[in-house]
């Protein structure tokens, strides 16, 4: 497989993963009871209703931001809260229908951007990314909310959570690795060497975290610490939903590097 073919396949997988989890979310929403809609999710301060509203609002940012309250200049988390608050009084059916409609339009828009690797898109405090990576951002958001915030053991909905296969995990991790250095510039600048991160399970991969970057390989002899865990465990601690002592993380090496790794936070 040449580089151009591999790149096209990677881009297509992000859209495919997003479409797959979009269909899963719609199926879940159609089967929720009023009590489940109003139940607190594992995303602090948000109900299940709020999580659905959030994901619909994010798609509107791609399709037509004028449909949302103006959050110009607000940090991402504050903007998300503002958008969710504006939809909190909506009936659950309206939230679901809005999500279904806007997600169709947004995924078409994201798909059209898959050939625009030359286009850099600024996302405020999230960083600036090549246009194709936007699909991975949405795939990550769906992956995380579905599996970490809605379903047991952390969320209110009875398990099992939707499956986490190679397709979905890989698409989510592409966003995490692209976002980590931009969203944690101080932490990455403080690294004194390279951290080898080995993830097992669906989407298994090894990446190296070093000064200002995430790489597929590290300079010889410069790995000073190692971290091993499952891919879902990594998503939990990289989003600060869990501490290392709450998931199965095996870590060794330079203590300062490991301390920095535990502070990383990606949105």
Tens-place pLDDT, residues 135-162: 999 999 999 999 999 999 999 999 788 9
Look up residue 114 and give its DSSP letter.
Answer: G
What pLDDT score was predicted for residue 11? Answer: 61
Is the entire prediction scored with pTM above 0.95? no
> pLDDT tens digit string along 161-198?
898 999 999 999 999 999 999 999 999 999 989 999 99
> pLDDT tens digit string along 239-264?
999 999 999 999 999 999 999 999 99
Q: Is the pLDDT of residue 2 over 50?
A: no
- What domains can be seen in the chain, in order of their start residue? 3-180 (1.20.120.450), 184-263 (3.30.1050.10)
Q: Is the pLDDT of residue 4 over 50?
A: no
Whole-number Å distance between alpha carbons of 22 and 124: 25
Cβ count within 10 A of residue 251: 16
CB-CB contact of 156 with 40 (8 Å): yes
Q: Is the pLDDT of residue 39 over 90?
A: yes
What pLDDT score was predicted for residue 5? Answer: 39
> pLDDT tens digit string along 86-139?
999 999 999 999 999 999 999 999 999 998 989 999 999 999 999 999 999 999
What pLDDT score was predicted for residue 220? Answer: 80
Helices (H), the chain: 3-30, 34-38, 48-63, 76-87, 92-112, 133-144, 166-183, 185-190, 231-238, 255-263
Whole-number Å distance between alpha carbons of 65 and 224: 45
Q: Is the pLDDT of residue 8 over 70?
A: no
Question: Residue 205: what are its φ and ψ, rounded to 5°?
Answer: -160, 155
């Amino acid at each position: 497989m040449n580089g151009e073919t591999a790149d096209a396949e990677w881009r297509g997988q992000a859209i495919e993963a997003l479409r797959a989890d979009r269909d899963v979310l719609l199926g879940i929403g159609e089967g929720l009871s009023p009590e489940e809609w109003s139940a607190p999710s594992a995303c602090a301060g948000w109900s299940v209703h709020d999580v659905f509203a959030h994901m619909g609002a994010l798609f509107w940012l791609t399709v037509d931001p004028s449909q949302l309250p103006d959050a110009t200049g607000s940090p991402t988390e504050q903007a998300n809260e503002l958008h969710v608050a504006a939809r909190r009084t909506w009936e659950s059916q309206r939230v679901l229908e809005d999500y279904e409609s806007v997600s169709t339009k947004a995924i078409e828009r994201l798909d059209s951007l898959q050939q625009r690797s030359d286009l850099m898109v600024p996302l405020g405090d999230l960083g600036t990314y090549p246009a194709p990576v936007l699909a991975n951002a949405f795939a990550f958001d769906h992956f995380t909310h579905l599996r970490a915030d809605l379903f047991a053991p952390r969320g209110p909905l009875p398990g099992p959570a939707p499956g986490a296969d190679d397709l979905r995990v890989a698409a989510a991790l592409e966003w995490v690795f692209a976002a980590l250095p931009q969203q944690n510039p101080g932490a990455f600048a403080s690294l004194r060497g390279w951290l080898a991160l080995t993830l097992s399970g669906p989407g298994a991969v090894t990446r190296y975290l070093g000064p200002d970057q995430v790489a597929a390989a590290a300079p010889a002899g410069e790995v000073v610490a190692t971290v091993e865990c499952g891919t879902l465990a990594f998503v939990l601690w990289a989003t600060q939903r869990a501490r290392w002592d709450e998931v199965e993380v095996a870590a060794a090496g330079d203590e300062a590097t490991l301390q920095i790794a535990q502070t990383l936070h990606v949105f």
